[in-house]
Amino acid sequence: MPPFKKYKFVLVIAMVSGLLLGACSHTSPEPVAENHITIPAQEGSAIAVRTESYARPPYSGATYFLYEKDGQVICTKLKVCNKYNECETTYKSGLFRDEEEMEEGVEPFEKTESQVIAPEKLKLHQCLELLKKEK
């Protein structure tokens, strides 16, 4: 078999394998996250995280990491960074908003969808660890 046909054959096999793997991964009823890959949050007792980012004039910003379980925010991480990327982080139980974001008409410039956190990765999230200590 000529070399270029051999590579074409290998490429076709790889593409078909990828399609089959993709089709098989969507048949699982339970969400699975591996190697830091997140999947959309679904109902159940899984813990998910989403973010909301706000501008803070003149040159800083605030990002809220909202940890959710069963549709309720259980913990909020607030990270405020200045233009030199020097950041301060605070953690609060439940839903929290700083005064600056509570003002009327203030909307986040960026939001992310909730993403399920893999059970083995939960201990890496300080907000959740601090929540455990409070109980």
11-21: pLDDT as tens digits: 344 443 443 33
What digits encode the pLDDT tens for the residues 31-90? 333 333 344 444 457 999 999 999 998 899 999 999 999 989 999 999 999 999 999 999
Return the SS3 of 44. Answer: coil
Q: What's the Cα-to-Cα distance from 96 to each of 41, 57, 87, rounded to whole Å? A: 21, 20, 18
User: Which of these ranges, 71-75, 102-106, 131-135, has the smallest mean pLDDT?
Assistant: 131-135
* Cα separation, 117 vs 109, whole angstroms: 24
The position carrying tokens 């490429």 is: 11
List the domain boundaries for the chain: 1-30, 47-134
3 or 69, higher pLDDT: 69
pTM of the model: 0.64
